[in-house]
């Protein structure tokens, strides 16, 4: 195992589309959504233990979740849990993490990954990441992992690659364009063209390459976090970071750097990936009954119902009749019943709940 390999796990999101299971005080990365006995965060941490030394894995989260992270991954030292004072999207999150890494490991090769994704093929995932790490160690480049699409999904971003500019293995190709969530017609065109991949949001790069990219494309942010070099891992870090985050632009790494840089490459892979962004995406990963119902809960009785996703606590009796294509979720005194095809409204429901019923339900 290479001691220069580092991993930054991003675990600060709220996951409002998984409401009511995912709540502000306990979002989805801290939940055992699949019933495996481990939270999504814990599974992510264990996945990267195969690739990075344990002491080189950092978790960036909202400072209010630091204790949750510590409880689920007690192996982490205090310096491995990076608490953000506010949510400013992924670019500041990454800038903060790489600034801390640079202080101790100027030759680091870094993986950045969300904490709430599903990976069904662990061996294939480890192989893909290792392949990318080898490439970034030898080249001044930024690599993103692209997933071979199996359907024209409108919920994912897409990456177009240049098939004439690839590495020796033909798996890592130069990126042409990034496209945010397309409409169904455009998504179908992307699939037919054969040169588009889903954007996984998993990145690999050397510290030198990503630092240069920040300096070029987000120079103010780069300079801001460099000012804290002598304060990181000292009692002055918290005060410095709280002040820095008030000056930070709220911007994603995709928009701030990846879509602008000219040295971005994509590794094409298939490792059973899902970003688990919605209840509908979870439906694909749960065993179904003969009527296509994906049920989590030991006391659910379904009559004349099909293609539903149901999640209720063990011991809770649920009897449902006549539902076709619905989401039925019960969690901590909240019951959600929503059409699967209209689950994009869940965020609106959460906002309305905050306004009309208070933060305790959100």
- Domain of 146, CATH number, reads 3.90.550.10
Are residues 12 and 146 located together in one domain of the fold? yes
Beta strand segments in the chain, E: 5-10, 57-62, 81-84, 109-114, 118-119, 142-147, 158-166, 172-179, 196-206, 264-269, 273-274, 294-296, 300-303, 309-311, 318-321, 326-331, 334-339
Q: What is the pLDDT of residues 24-41, one digit of tens each?
A: 888 999 998 877 889 999
Of 246, 274, 302, which residue constitutes the final position of a domain? 274
Q: What is the pLDDT of residues 333-342, one digit of tens each?
A: 899 999 998 8
Are residues 291 and 185 located together in one domain of the fold? no
pLDDT of residue 253: 97
Are residues 268 and 300 located together in one domain of the fold? no
The token pair that represents 90 in the structure block = 């992924």
Q: What are phi and psi of 240, to 5 degrees?
A: -60, -45
Are residues 90 and 213 located together in one domain of the fold? yes
- Please identify which residue in the block is written with the tokens 């490991």: 105
Are residues 191 and 225 located together in one domain of the fold? yes
**pLDDT > 70 fraction of the chain, expressed in percent and rounded:** 100
User: Domain range spanning residue 70?
Assistant: 5-274
Q: How many domains does the chain have?
A: 2
68 and 30 in contact (C-beta within 8 Å)?
yes
Are residues 139 and 240 located together in one domain of the fold? yes
252 confidence band (pLDDT: 50, 70, 90): very high
Average pLDDT of the residues in 217-241? 96
Are residues 43 and 121 located together in one domain of the fold? yes
pLDDT of residue 15: 81
Residue positions counted in the chain: 362
Of 247, 274, 301, which residue constitutes the final position of a domain? 274
Average pLDDT of the residues in 114-136? 94
Are residues 177 and 244 located together in one domain of the fold? yes
Are residues 168 and 310 located together in one domain of the fold? no
Q: What is the pLDDT of residues 51-76, one digit of tens each?
A: 999 999 999 999 999 999 999 999 99
Are residues 295 and 220 located together in one domain of the fold? no
pLDDT of residue 168: 66
Are residues 65 and 164 located together in one domain of the fold? yes
Are residues 246 and 308 located together in one domain of the fold? no
Least confident of 161-165, 325-329, 336-340: 161-165
Of 220, 240, 274, which residue constitutes the final position of a domain? 274
Q: Distance between CA atoms of 91 and 71, rounded to whole angstroms?
A: 26
Q: Distance between CA atoms of 205 and 207, rounded to whole angstroms?
A: 6
The token pair that represents 300 in the structure block = 């659910």
């Amino acid at each position: 195992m290479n001691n220069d390999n580092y991993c930054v796990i991003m675990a600060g999101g709220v996951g409002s589309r998984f409401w009511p299971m995912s709540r502000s005080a306990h979002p989805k990365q801290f939940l055992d959504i699949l019933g495996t006995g481990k939270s999504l965060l814990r599974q992510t941490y264990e996945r990267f233990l195969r690739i990075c030394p344990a002491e080189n894995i950092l978790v960036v989260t909202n400072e209010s979740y630091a204790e949750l992270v510590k409880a689920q991954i007690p192996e982490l030292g205090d310096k491995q849990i990076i608490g953000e004072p506010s949510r400013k999207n992924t670019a500041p999150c990454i800038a903060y993490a790489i600034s801390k890494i640079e202080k101790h490991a100027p030759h680091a090769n870094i993986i950045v990954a969300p904490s709430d994704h599903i990976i069904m093929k662990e061996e294939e995932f480890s192989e893909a990441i290792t392949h990318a790490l080898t490439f970034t160690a030898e080249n001044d480049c930024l690599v993103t992992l692209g997933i071979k699409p199996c359907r024209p999904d409108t919920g994912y971003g897409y990456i177009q690659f240049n098939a004439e500019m690839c590495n020796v293995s033909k798996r890592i190709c130069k990126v042409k364009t990034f496209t945010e969530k397309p409409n169904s017609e455009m998504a179908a065109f992307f699939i037919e063209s054969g040169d588009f991949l889903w954007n996984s949001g998993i990145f690999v790069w050397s510290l030198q390459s990503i630092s240069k990219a920040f300096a070029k494309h987000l120079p103010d942010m780069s300079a801001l976090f460099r000012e804290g070099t002598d304060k990181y891992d000292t009692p002055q870090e918290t005060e410095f970071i709280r002040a820095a985050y008030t000056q930070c632009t709220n911007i994603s790494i995709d928009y701030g750097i990846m879509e602008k840089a000219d040295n971005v490459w994509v590794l094409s892979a298939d490792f059973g990936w899902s970003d688990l962004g919605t209840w509908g995406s979870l439906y694909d990963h749960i065993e179904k009954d003969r009527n296509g119902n994906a049920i989590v809960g030991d006391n659910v009785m379904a009559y004349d119902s099909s293609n539903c996703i149901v999640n209720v606590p063990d011991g809770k009796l649920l009897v449902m009749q006549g539902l076709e294509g619905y989401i039925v979720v019960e969690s901590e005194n909240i019951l959600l019943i929503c059409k699967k095809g209209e689950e994009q409204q869940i965020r609106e429901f959460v906002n309305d709940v905050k306004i009309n019923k208070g933060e305790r339900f959100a």
